[in-house]
Amino acid sequence: MIFLTALSLFWIMISASRGGQWGAWMPSSISAFEGTCVSIPCRFSFPDELRPAVVHGVWYFNSPYPKNYPPVVFKSRTQVVHESFQGRSRLLGDLGLRNCTLLLSNLSPELGGKYYFRGDLGGYNQYTFSEHSVLDIINTPNIVVPPEVMAGTEVEVSCMVPDNCPELHPELSWLGHEGLGEPTVLGRLREEEGTWVQVSLLHFVPTRETNGHRLGCQASFPNTTLQFEGYASLDIKYPPVIVEINSTVEAIEGSHVSLFCGADSNPPPLLTWMRDGTVLREAVAESLSLEVDEVTPAEDGVYLCLAENTYGQDNRTVELSVMYAPWKPMVNGTVVAVEGETVSILCSTQSNPDPILTIFKEKQILATVIYESELQLELPAVTPEDDGEYWCVAENQYGQRATAFNLSVEFAPVILLESHCAAARDTVQCLCVVKANPEPSVAFELPLRNVTVNETEREFVYSERSGLLLTSILTLRGQAQAPPRVICTSHNLYGTKSLELPFQGAHRLMWAKIGPVGAVVAFAILIAIVCYITQTRRKKNVTESPSFSGGDNPPVVFSSDFRISGAPEKYESERRLGSERRLLGLRGEPPELDLSYSHSDLGKRPTKDSYTLTEELAEYAEIRVK
């Protein structure tokens, strides 16, 4: 490519030198180091019909028009130049051969600018060419880095310096290339416009660590003190790498949490905090923090930091563990069961860390697990004793929560042994205590009277329930000769149970019936009997005694021995009955036992005979009272 370019320029110069029209060729720009020299190549042409004997030329600085009096760089006719160019300019080319090459030495910055050539063939045959060359005075080498350098991909970096001074040629060396690779010097190359450059190449494979590395090139000129250096910072493109992120974060519920993520990439990455696919925060930055105020258990989980740019992406996760006390336990399972069934109760909660779960009843631990969120309680065959209130308690170092639940065991009625009948004054009360679930019905049966009384007849039956116990009391008012037979029957949907109620304190029934007055009468009768027996024995002794004298001690005549001659037996019976009534203090007929078990039986109450006090005891009691 360079050979073809040089060849084309050569033909242009040949054609221009052969003439034809006014024209000139020179590089549009050329550069040289300060303190060195520069050769500006130049060719010109003029019409063939002009045949000048001598060809002269003038170089102007920054203006092509003589009327503007531009500084003269070189003038072949008079050798008069501007003071800035005295001793610094000379013509290298032969104007007769149409070569106008100019040499400038001891370059300084003020010499940088535009240079114009004017052909002078004599007379009016003078022509200023519009073509010109711009001289650039430099003091640093030019380091050329490709516009995009990616990590892991081989790159070529070149150092180029002008080499247009025929008297001084530069030598190139690399600075700061250690670890990158060995440089390759290509040597002196000609550019498209006929200028020359010295080139050195450096091949290496960059890494992310070499991003920003300062690479230098030095141009030095042998046998002089001239030395020039240039530097370039490597801009290495590479995908993001997350270099800093929180490890697992533990926070107590309600506290403040900060999650940090930092990434290294070029260009800077787009950082994004995400959770479950939801973007929480994002920004183009090297680091990004996610702030969580008053953290809750709902924010417990895995958080993702995503870093991405044009060249790739990277992501890392961090787990946020929110520590909190157990939630109120939930109880799922059977809470109503039939006696004998298997009951399974599941108690579950949520906490961090996992809690200690315990199920107990009446301060007795039934089941417990450590660091588990669920606890299963199995009761293989429930009994009525399993009925009641249970507690599920969950606790960890951050708190304790509890839930109460009831297990209802349903079973057939059971009549307890404390059920009985008892007398008090003129009342008999029967107590029937039943244990059952659900609540049973209770009925009292008096088989001798063919009467049944249930709970609906509140005048006679009083019931009260406490827990699983149902207590029913039957009250019988009035007086009875003997303890009644009472059968208690209880029924619910699981069965029926009957029990004949025992009578407690049957020997006290009579005293309960007759009351205080009856007790006095009975005591009086007892005294009369004792007196009667005593008198009878005395009479017998007197009759049988041989020393008995009728005149000294006449026999005593008792009113009980007195009989009215010819009195009917009925009169005697009525007299004895009246004496008994007076002793008992009764008037009219003796009271009846009130056995009114139901409103339908109120007219069927039986009437008992009078108390079984013998006529003989009543007679002796009457005599004793007199």
Do 311 and 215 sit in the same domain of this protein?
no
Beta-carbon contacts of residue 61 (< 8 Å; ≥ 6 apart):
70, 71, 72, 73, 82, 84, 85, 113, 114, 115, 116
Query: For residue 273, is it within any domain?
Result: yes
Do 177 and 211 sit in the same domain of this protein?
yes
Average pLDDT, the chain: 81
Do 358 and 302 sit in the same domain of this protein?
no
User: What would you measure as the largest C-alpha separation in the chain, in angstroms?
Assistant: 230
Structural domain count of the chain: 5
Query: For residue 182, is it within any domain?
Result: yes
- Which residues form the domain of 279? 241-320
Last residue of a domain, one of 320, 346, 369: 320
Q: How is the chain split among helix, strand and coil, in percent rounded to 5?
A: 20, 45, 35
Beta-carbon contacts of residue 618 (< 8 Å; ≥ 6 apart):
525, 576, 577, 579, 580, 583
Do 204 and 272 sit in the same domain of this protein?
no
**Cβ atoms of 358 and 392 closer than 8 Å:** yes
* pTM (predicted TM-score): 0.57
Which residue has 């939801």 as its token pair? Answer: 278
Query: For residue 538, is it within any domain?
Result: no
Q: What's the CA gap between 422 and 265, in Å, rounded?
A: 100
Tens digits of residue pLDDT in 301-342 = 999 999 999 999 999 999 999 999 999 999 986 689 999 999
- Tell whether the model's pLDDT for residue 3 goes beyond 70: no
Phi/psi class of residue 196: alpha, beta or left (left: φ > 0; alpha: ψ in -120 to 50)?
Answer: beta
Beta-carbon contacts of residue 612 (< 8 Å; ≥ 6 apart):
none
- For position 536, what pLDDT does the model report? 66
Query: For residue 531, is it within any domain?
Result: no
Q: What is the 3-state secondary structure (H, E, C) of 561-580?
A: HCCCCCCCHHHHHHHHHHHH
- For position 479, what pLDDT does the model report? 47
Dihedral pair phi/psi, residue 261, rounded to 5°: -140, 125
Do 226 and 247 sit in the same domain of this protein?
no
Tokens of 46: 């003029």
Tens digits of residue pLDDT in 137-156 = 999 999 999 999 999 999 99
Paired residues of 136 in beta bridges: 31
Do 23 and 71 sit in the same domain of this protein?
yes
Do 78 and 161 sit in the same domain of this protein?
no
Query: For residue 424, is it within any domain?
Result: yes
Do 151 and 207 sit in the same domain of this protein?
yes
Last residue of a domain, one of 290, 320, 350: 320
Do 46 and 29 sit in the same domain of this protein?
yes
Domain with residue 423: its CATH number is 2.60.40.10
Query: For residue 290, is it within any domain?
Result: yes
Residue bearing the bigger pLDDT, 150 or 572: 150
Q: What average pLDDT does this structure show over 218-243?
A: 94
Distance of CA 603 to the CA centre of its chain: 78
Sign of CA dihedral 546, 547, 551, 554: negative
Tens digits of residue pLDDT in 394-422 = 999 999 999 999 999 999 999 999 999 99
Do 34 and 134 sit in the same domain of this protein?
yes
Do 251 and 268 sit in the same domain of this protein?
yes
Query: For residue 617, is it within any domain?
Result: no
- Exposure letters 313-335 (e unless 16+ CB within 10 A, then b): bbbbebebebbbbbbebebeeee
Do 256 and 307 sit in the same domain of this protein?
yes
- For position 25, what pLDDT does the model report? 94
Tens digits of residue pLDDT in 466-524 = 988 999 999 888 745 567 889 999 999 999 999 999 988 655 545 444 555 555 555 66
Query: For residue 477, is it within any domain?
Result: yes
Read off the pLDDT band of 568 (50, 70, 90).
very low
Last residue of a domain, one of 354, 385, 411: 411
